[in-house]
Amino acid sequence: MEEVTVSRDVAAEPGAIRAGFEDVAAFMRAAGFDEVDIEGDRMAVSRAIGLAELSLTLEAVETDAEFACEQVEGMFEEMRTTYRFEGGEDGTTVTAQTEFELGGVVGAVLDATLIKRKRTQELEDQLAYLDRVATDTA
């Protein structure tokens, strides 16, 4: 299983940061997805990458994290992302972690290093979005 972890310190209380998950479509678009469709706990996301299109269907899942989702349809054998908060004196550290396993034809074509680099940027962009939402509501 491959892993990508990104953290960001946000000068806000966890409650203000949680507001960023209220508009799940905007939160997912912050990762750079071109299309985001939300239906209940399911999120269909897609992005054009050159001549190809990456499409995933994710589902929000219950965990001890603030927010978590896992792939139910898409290019990965398995993929789960969690977002956790840790409060401190000067605010909150938000940590996003994606664990994934490439499989089948996709695993033979794609390089995990490329996926890690792209996913790191997506998570950084989502944490920046949460920071903006928390700062705007504070």
> pLDDT tens across 70-118, in order?
999 988 899 999 999 998 888 999 999 999 998 765 555 667 888 899 9
The pLDDT score that the predictor gives to residue 89 is 85
Calpha distance 119→102 (Å, rounded): 13
The pLDDT score that the predictor gives to residue 91 is 93
Tell how strand 2-10 and strand 42-49 pair up. Answer: unpaired
- Number of domains within the chain: 1
Q: Which two tokens stand for residue 95?
A: 């940590």
pLDDT: which is higher, 138 or 120 = 120
Sheet holding 67-73, edge to edge: 2-10, 91-102, 76-88, 67-73, 52-60, 42-49, 35-39
- For the cut 80, the answer to whether the pLDDT of residue 137 exceeds it is no
Calpha distance 64→99 (Å, rounded): 16
- For the cut 90, the answer to whether the pLDDT of residue 9 exceeds it is yes
Q: C-alpha distances in angstroms, 6 versus 3, 69, 86, 99, 125?
A: 10, 16, 13, 12, 10
- For the cut 70, the answer to whether the pLDDT of residue 6 exceeds it is yes
* pTM of structure: 0.91
The pLDDT score that the predictor gives to residue 132 is 96
The pLDDT score that the predictor gives to residue 69 is 98
Q: How confident is the model at residue 42 (pLDDT cuts 50, 70, 90)?
A: very high
40 lies in which domain range? 2-137
CATH code of the domain in which 116 resides: 3.30.530.20
Tell how strand 2-10 and strand 35-39 pair up. Answer: unpaired
How much is the average pLDDT of 41-67?
91
